[in-house]
Amino acid sequence: MDILLQQIINGLTTGSVYAIVALGYTMVYGVIQLINFAHGEVVMIGAMVAFTVIMALAGAGLPLPPFAIVLAGVLAAIPVCMALGYLLERLAYRPLRHAPRLAPLITAIGMSIVLQHLALLIWGRDPRAFPQIMENTSFAIGGTGGAAISSVQIAIILLSLALMAGLTWFVYRTRFGIAIRATAEDVRVAALMGVDADRMIAATFVIGAALAAVAGVMVGTYYGIAHYTMGFTLGLKAFSAAVLGGIGNLAGAMLGGLLLGLVEALGTGYISEITDLCRWPLIGDGGGLLTERCAADGHVVLFGSNYQDVFAFLVLILVLVFRPSGLLGERVSERA
Amino acid sequence: MSRKTIGIVLVALALLALPLVLTQVGTAWVRIANLAILFIFLSLGLNIVVGMAGLLDFGYVAFYAVGAYTWALLASPHFNLHLPFWAILPIGALFACVAGALLGAPTLRLRGDYLAIVTLGFGEIVRIFMNNLSAPFNVTNGPKGITRIDGLAVGGLDFRATDRFLGIDFTGPAKYYYVLLLLLLFVIAVNLRLQNSRIGRAWVAIREDEIAAKAAGIDTRNVKLLAFAMGASFGGIAGGMFAAMQGFVSPESFVLHESIMILAMVVLGGMGNVWGVIAGALLLSFVPEFLRYTVEPAQKMLFGRLLVEPEVLRMLVFGAALVLTMRFRPAGLWPESWHKREMREGEAA
């Protein structure tokens, strides 16, 4: 199997999900310069709601095609998440818009703890197996010895691209989108021009939450599992993706998401090979310190694929250190 | 004697007698008190970073972990090392301090919320390493953690066994209590002294307005780094004590949730105000324990069965408390008097 090609396919799949979640972070940040810390939990709730609906429909024995069942799950998750996004904005952000920056961050953490444990209360502590009703056919790429791409992967990538295109059209071509961008540019001036700034800010939360709902279903179907803690790491990675691309920038979030997915997949795919001490001269080969162990085991892997989650954080730290404004972001001056 | 002196003496006596009283109720409560002191210690350490210097650190537990693992590795059968406490505790503090400086150096130019996320990522990285550094060379023993860690032993005094002084039995946890109390007094003194020192004022200046602080001649980079390193060293000391007290460490004790808990103690109590932070830490240490013992019977009495697990309810209450406190008292329950004092001085002049 061609590892490189396979990891690129896997990376593009997870990367599209990161991109969709990252859009939610970046839109909110673009408008009010705050990190919506609870965004990851919205993704989780989306996955859970969809899971419940899909389970119910699949168990009811109706003669529905699998595609329709998953679609019903998505359509149920979207309004729930949108309501949740609105609620978050009203409860955790709007009252604190003029408070010190730290305050909304703490309320967001509070909300995210509450959401996580509400989910724990409703859906239980154990991971829920997402019903695999979609027929997951694999297509071979590059002939024998090539890689495989599954229909779920194709669906995720295509749907993400469609969502990204749709959002871009919405933000750049509709009146509503222009109003959102005006608010992001300058809340006060936008208000003077007749834009209802409060409504626009709430709208970014709601739109981000709708995207999060779709992302939640994608993750659930892809990994086949949903868990009340799944939102946290996913949210953190998506945030890293948004920062990587340049937070506040839509195209940046998309690019950052895909790049982060690729880095993570390739890193995970190759790290054990790279850090196999037996392949290193002086240490493993001939006369090295580990000759005996290498002869016995064949490999002495320093870092295996269990370090997968480290990559996203490493990328985040490196980006912030060397290019704090991200790949496509403009330089942000310090707020006085 | 003035009323203040009498008050201090009474508080001191109460604190000294506390473990003896608690031992009568149950040794478990002495342990809870010990952990509470440890958390006050940690939150005062974090208070230096977050409260005074205004650097939002979401990965503080990483330094706690460094200290705990240093003790665990240097005083357990794992590497067959059994160094004395006066060697390990400084080494642990030093390691934590270096870790703090390593994290701080590249990230300190970042703005508040970015710094928060990076420190959070750093904490996660440390945890992932603790979990996985068991192969190919077994350093941390992975998720299973390190067991049979040596306790604290000063001279011939073993802090695990029960000793009899003046006809009173002092159990192991009770003896740890006094050590922790001593350490706590130390960190309180450091915090109070720092508050009015040149460095402390520099931190507050940076917190309030970094550009103005820089213009006033403060070397912001070094001063911030100092806050980070100093906070981290306190975390390291607390970690060492934790390992000695529990005799067991595993990555599970150092998850992000702990960082958030410590941060919440600082923020809830009132950032920058030593007494506020102590109150916040006490509140968040004892209320969950209180809920643990009351939620179950209360539910059984009201509904006849357990509707919500105590642990879940505890977290729900905790999350809601964070939201409500920030909503109605954004500066914490007992905010520092710095601003007030500044105002008054302004009037007098």
- The Cα–Cα gap between A93 and A202 comes to 10
Host H or E run for residue B157: strand B157-158
**Position A80 pLDDT exceeds 60:** yes
User: Does residue B150 fall inside a structural domain?
Assistant: yes
Mutate to test the interface with B, among A28, A29, A101, A113 (most CBs of B within 10 A): A113
| pLDDT at residue B112, rounded to an integer | 67
Q: Strands A147-150 and A128-129, how do they pair?
A: unpaired
Q: Which of residues 213-272 of A touch B (CB under 8 A)?
A: 232, 236, 239-240, 243
Mean per-residue pLDDT, A125-152: 78
CB B228 within 8 A of CB B55: yes
Mean pLDDT of chain A: 85
Contact flag A106-B136 (C-beta cutoff 8 Å) = no
Q: Does residue B336 lie in a domain region?
A: no
Domains in chain A (CATH in brackets) are 3-263 (1.10.3470)
User: Nearest CA to B64 among B222, B306, B199, B260?
Assistant: B260
% chain A with pLDDT above 70: 89
Look at residue B333 in the predicted model and tell me its pLDDT. Answer: 78
Q: Residue A329 pLDDT more than 60?
A: yes
- What are A49's two structure tokens? 């709601």
Query: Which of A92, A94, A55, A42 is CA-nearest to residue A210?
Result: A42
The pLDDT > 90 percentage for chain A reads 36
Full DSSP string of B172-210: HHHHHHHHHHHHHHHHHHHHHHHHTSHHHHHHHHHHH-H
Residue A24, classed as helix, strand or coil, is: helix
| Contacting A residues, span 94-113, partner chain B, CB-CB under 8 Å | 95-96, 99-107, 109-113
Which residue(s) pair with B170 in the sheet?
B163
Contact B233, B59 (CB under 8 A): no
Whether residue B314 is contained in a domain is answered as: no
Amino acid at position B43, single letter: S
pLDDT for the residue numbered A334: 42
**CB pair distance less than 8 Å for A103 and B112:** no
Is B78 within a domain?
yes
Q: How far apart are CA A22 and CA A27, in angstroms?
A: 9
Of B121, B210, B319, the CB nearest to A110: B319
Across the interface, whether the CB atoms of A114 and B124 are under 8 A apart is answered no
Q: Please list the pLDDT of chain B residue by residue as tens digits (349 residues).
A: 688 888 888 888 888 878 777 777 777 888 888 889 999 999 999 999 888 888 888 889 999 999 999 998 888 777 777 788 788 888 989 999 999 888 888 777 777 677 887 888 888 888 888 888 777 677 787 778 787 787 777 766 776 666 666 766 667 777 888 889 999 999 899 888 988 899 999 998 988 888 899 899 888 888 999 998 999 999 999 999 999 888 888 888 888 888 888 888 888 887 778 888 998 898 888 877 777 777 777 777 777 766 777 778 878 888 888 888 888 887 777 776 655 454 444 444 3
- The whole-number average pLDDT for the span A297-301 is 69
What are the beta bridge partners of residue B109?
Answer: none
Q: Which residues pair with B82 in a beta bridge?
A: B75
- For residue B237, is it within any domain? yes
| B22 against A202, higher pLDDT | A202
A86 pLDDT tier (thresholds 50, 70, 90): very high
pLDDT band (50, 70, 90) for residue A248: confident
Residue B343 in domain:
no
Give mean pLDDT, residues A196-217: 93
Distance from CA of B76 to the nearest CA of A (A): 24
The domain spanning residue B100 has which CATH number? 1.10.3470
A114 chain-B contacts, CB cut-off 8 A: 315-316, 319-320, 323
> φ and ψ at A147, to 5 degrees?
-120, 175
Which one is predicted more confidently, A200 or B342?
A: A200
- As for how many domains chain B has, the answer is 1
Query: What pLDDT score does A1 carry?
Result: 61
Q: pLDDT of A142-187, one tens digit each?
A: 766 678 888 889 989 999 999 999 999 999 999 999 999 999 888 8
Q: ipTM for the complex?
A: 0.79
Across the interface, do B107 and A35 touch by the CB < 8 Å criterion?
no
Q: Which domain holds residue B25?
A: 9-255
Instruction: With cut-offs at 50, 70 and 90, classify the pLDDT of residue A15.
Output: very high
**In a domain? residue B200:** yes
pLDDT exceeds 90 at position A23: yes
0.90 exceeded by pTM: no
| Closest to A30 measured CA to CA, from A336, A238, A330, A334 | A330
